[in-house]
Amino acid sequence: MQEFLNWTVNAIREDKLISPWLEEKKYEWVPLVSKSIVNIFEKGCSVLIITDTERDWFLEYILSNINSQKQNRPFLPFYDFKSFNKNIDDIKSEEDINFIKDMLNISFPNGYCFWYIGKSNDKRSTLAKFSKNSFLWIFDEEIQDAFNLKNNDEALDMKLLQMFRLYDKTLSASLFAEINVEH
Nearest C-alpha neighbor of 17 from the set 138, 152, 164: 164
**Is CATH 3.40.50.11670 correct for 31-177?**
yes
Q: DSSP letters along 123-166, please?
A: TTHHHHHTSTT-EEEEESS--TTSEEE-TT-TTHHHHHHHHHHH
Dump pLDDT digits (tens) for 80-132. Answer: 999 988 888 888 788 888 899 999 999 999 999 999 999 999 989 988 988 88
User: pTM score, two decimals?
Assistant: 0.94
